[in-house]
Structure 1
């Protein structure tokens, strides 16, 4: 089952459900956010709650995508209470890409000429898949921003004027809602473009936090239920309407060095991320990005991320603001 949010013919938000091939408007649901609260309040799964609603008219999501009427599959009434976060070095093969970007470090004989990225990846291989409910090694973690940084499918991912680069990262994101008793509920999964500044990150790995403070997009559709063991997607960059770069990407636990449960624990173990009513969009990482293949994205490039079972592809245009030279001024009260 897939759910999404659209602008209907009157320009009003509507929830859409695709349970099979046909997508239909869900009656009596003001938003995905309200639907999730309803399901938790009734003690139902989200799928059960959805099936308790009537279906309305069918819609063509591909056509709506062309008309820029697809919205993020879930939003919060207050953008400050939607959190964009992620983990890196979680996928088999991801270390090779990162290791090539970062200078080698190490002082001991055993760790000589081994980058911190490779050390982190090895830690995940050795301890990222604990069994029996035990806690595994914590992954690399980063913060991207709040709902103000969340860009709807079809929208522009904007690199600020101080950026050194802007490139796509095709990922799967987990979508979560925090209940009134502070329990995190996983709503589902969505395609995501975790837009980052790889040139800044490569300059010094301690700039990773800066490089991640960029907009991101996810959706258009949200997969309700379990994530497939293996997700086989495709990431493409189009320039002037022609494919510039295309490559498959893999996700799902069969292709990861950490279990989802371990990644979720190490995010939600922090009380600040268990505030009632909040939404979390947590991106699980990737081993595939065009930057690793020598691609430098330009203003106007289009990124398309797709995967079987996730519905309409996620498409966004990349734009770059003019370079900034003046310092940001702070006034004294």
Structure 2
């Protein structure tokens, strides 16, 4: 089962569920996935049971509604976006090429060292701690972009590149326990030229918006996720490539990535929403593509029924002056 959030023609929010028939039906009385998940946690049952208890109503015509991100929070500061890199088999190749250009010797780059740590220790036995992954802060709910909405690159950016991947979506229970409520397709939009300039600028390169959705997949992620990432320019496909995810294609287990995020107490504040991007090994940037305003990113993968599409836009910028009080 998957869940969608939408706003109808009257401006009212709703939640729809897609079952095996892939037909979206309104979840009776539900206006947000977060509230539905909170109710399930409070009642001590899973999200599918919460949907069944609420019941399903009319079919939702997706052409007549505005799709929202499949998770959000009334206070964007309590929706935290983070991610991990170098987590997928093959993900070190592009990063290693970026950083090797700055090195005169043949010694392994820090990126390759980090990747190999994951290969050797990223899938520990249950109950044990595995290798610590690369981790980054992406932003808060203000950075979360809905399907169909523009991904806005700041004017000072050097690049506006897609990163097709899977994101885990979490809600922290009242006792501080992180609860995974599902998975979503994601475009972890980044500035790869800035990152290539110096790997210590990785933190800067990640402070960009990101898109997820349209669906929240409830339950477990398949061991292997096979999808397609493409860039459409002026109505024609400019670039297209398959991408792989799921633990069968990863150097880390999901449990290990989740542990190394939620081990920090500040990420276990009751009521907070977390969207955590698990990484990718597929980038158009690695194939020499330079995106431009108006390009459309399209990401699709089974078991998600609907693709994630967003258009590149550019923001304006002038130097920021701080005013003394």
Calculate the TM-score normalised by the size of structure 2.
0.97
Distance in 2, matches of 1:304 and 1:192, equals 10
- 1:218-270 CA-to-partner distances (Å, cap 9, x unmatched) read 01000000000000010010000110000000000000000000000000000
Unaligned runs of at least 5 residues, structure 2: none
Aligned to 2:139: 145
Distance in 2, matches of 1:231 and 1:286, equals 12
Aligned to 1:218: 212
Aligned to 2:37: 36
Aligned to 2:88: 91
Aligned to 1:71: 68
Distance in 2, matches of 1:327 and 1:105, equals 29
Distance in 1, matches of 2:162 and 2:323, equals 35
Match of 1:271 among 265, 272, 295: 265
Distance in 2, matches of 1:10 and 1:321, equals 30
Distance in 2, matches of 1:332 and 1:105, equals 40
Distance in 1, matches of 2:75 and 2:315, equals 26
Note if contact 1:195-1:214 (Cα within 8 Å) is conserved in structure 2.
Answer: yes
After TM superposition, the runs of 4+ consecutive aligned structure 1 residues lying more than 6 A away are: 104-107
Q: CA RMSD in A?
A: 1.5
Unaligned runs of at least 5 residues, structure 1: none
Distance in 2, matches of 1:184 and 1:210, equals 27
Report the number of matched residues.
324
Question: Which secondary structure does the structure 1 equivalent of 2:114 belong to?
Answer: helix
Aligned to 1:15: 15
Match of 1:320 among 304, 314, 319: 314
- 1:138-192 CA-to-partner distances (Å, cap 9, x unmatched) read 1000011000000111000011111111110001000000011100000000000
Deviates more, 1:308-317 or 1:285-294: 308-317
Match of 2:110 among 101, 108, 116: 116
How far residue 105 of structure 1 moved from its aligned partner, in angstroms, is 7.8
How far residue 216 of structure 1 moved from its aligned partner, in angstroms, is 0.3
- 1:19-59 CA-to-partner distances (Å, cap 9, x unmatched) read 12211011021211110110001000111111111211102
Match of 1:127 among 121, 126, 134: 121
- 1:121-153 CA-to-partner distances (Å, cap 9, x unmatched) read 000000101013100011000011000000111
Aligned: 1:160 with 2:162: no
Question: Which secondary structure does the structure 1 equivalent of 2:123 belong to?
Answer: coil
Distance in 1, matches of 2:73 and 2:315, equals 27
Q: Which residues of 2 match residues 279-290 of structure 1 at below 5 A?
A: 279-290=273-284
Distance in 2, matches of 1:234 and 1:104, equals 29
Distance in 1, matches of 2:291 and 2:158, equals 11
Distance in 2, matches of 1:284 and 1:192, equals 9
Aligned to 1:258: 252
